[in-house]
Structure 1
Amino acid sequence: MKILKYILLLLLILIIGLSIYVAVQPNDYKFSRSRTIEAPVSMIYDKVNDFKQWPEFSPWLEQDKDATLTYSDNTVGKDAGYSWIGEILGEGSMTTLEADANTAISQKIEFIKPFEANADIDWTFEPSDEGTKVTWHMEGKQDFITKLFTTFTGSIESETGPDFERGLFKLDSVVQAEMKVYSINVEGVTQHSGGYYLYNTMSCKFSDFEKNMKEMLPKVGAYAISNNVTMAGPPFILYHKWDEENDAVIFSCAIPTNSKIVSNEPEILTGKLESFRAVKTVLKGDYANLKEAWETSMKYIADNNLEMIEAGPMLETYISDPMSKPNPAEWITEIYVAVR
């Protein structure tokens, strides 16, 4: 009998000690995880800000693929929300409280089953030279039951932190895959209308082409804007010489104009393209695919018994660009090769 009393007393002491230990644990918790993603900030923000896109990167929905999702009438921005019911996830909901475009998103997550709890979720998006630094932050309060539970299973951060890391990894992967989507379509023989244009020109190695083009094209555009010149269409590159064997390219960066413009700057010149017959190819996607687009154009010319005019115009016209479309998959470039 005495042994039983000692055991009960010992259990009581352990329970009291455990209760005291649990009670003195912090009432608040907070943690965050970050990842730098090589993508435009607006593209990442738009995906996180739309709850209908969460199944693509949510680590929890990945664990419970059969969970039932119900969206509110609004799934984007302030007051957007969705709820879930699943065998693994239980039952809960998430609501967007505030959304500052391309900068930050504040959300509230509420758990109903298997236990009731809530927490604040914050996202921040910081542009950098490497891409966009995305930070996923969570904080909330712990009642006694929660603190008791985490005493045996591990802290909320140790349990949830890896999920945040997995979610950011998936977000990165999804965005990268979307940016790589492209298509090349040869539209066949057409008649390019030609016209006047302002331009600057350069000869360089192929390795220096991209750097030089990015410096030259804005200068032509800036001249047109500062001199109130009306642009007659999107900018284009006119290739005068393409010599891979000798690693040399001569090209002009051009802005089409409605009429002949007399430039007052020595580096900005005026040119005119006569209307010409051309094979037109449209690339929708990253400029990294331009080489394949050009090769596709040349193959079409050969396969259809057309003759490329060696000294004729070869153009890349940028219908949309990074300024208007952050996602490279949405960039549209038209290629024209003069043929007879």
Structure 2
Amino acid sequence: MPKTHVSKSIFIAAEPNKVYTLINDFSHWTAWSPWAILETEAKVSVASDGKYFEWEGNRIGSGNMKITKEKGPHKIWADLTFLKPFKSKAKIEYTLTESEGGTQVTWEMYSSLPFFMFFMKDMMQKMIGMDFDRGLKMLKDLVENGKVNCKLTQENNQLFETVHYVGIKGTTPMTEMGLDMSKKIPQLKDYIKANNLESNGEIISIYHKWDMKNQTATYTLAAVVKTLPQNTIGHIISGTIPTTKVNKVIHTGDYDHLGNAWTMQMMMQRNKEFKQNKKMDPFEVYKNSPFHTPSEELITEVMFPTLD
């Protein structure tokens, strides 16, 4: 069977022992799990010693994980068993390395795929890697701030009213999207001011393509305007998102955790909780400004257009 290996790491500004106690006791798992946050109503059972847990959900499937060996506060080994949506087993390792001012945490998985899924090896490794990244960011938040600044709520079959926009389209590495947006927003504001366009200040990102192989996103960063300009110049474009039904996931919290909202949408679509209209691109609407709002209060609405 095709062998797989995923390894992701993050720096956490805390001593290893503080991080270790949140990893080696599964009673803390749901607070930073990249999967538990996608289905908070899933059934989770944790053993009294915190070394074993089981889960069962509609979106996240079912399985169990057991800690098999520990070398505190630097190493944890665990066995992971997936039962649904398909059976699979994996070896998990958490390595905590003391670093200047904190701890470098590495999360690794060694596994294999069924023969019939050999062609999905690269994609699966990248997808699991993104899950690990999401989880490590939440673990960092939990350790450093005492809580994870991410809350997800879902509203299906919502009506999104027509909006007009001016925007800038481009392709950028996923890891640099925040920086890319921060450069484009002033350009859009200057264009709106120079052309006397009326705007409510709302910013939208329309996502045209996710390139998982190269880890890039092609998207349009757009500013909502009351009416479309007669002409656009240079790299500025204009367009309209027509009235449509959407499946909405509302993310409250730091933009670093927005991947949770997108993953929730994709898992809901895969679980057939809504039928996506693939003729329209998904988009996200920023309901308040990061320049005037504490990060834990930022509200972002991730929209997937749906079919009736």
- TM score, norm. by length of structure 1: 0.45
The structure where helix makes up a greater share of residues is 1
Is the radius of gyration larger for structure 1 or structure 2? 1
TM-score, length of structure 2 as denominator length: 0.50
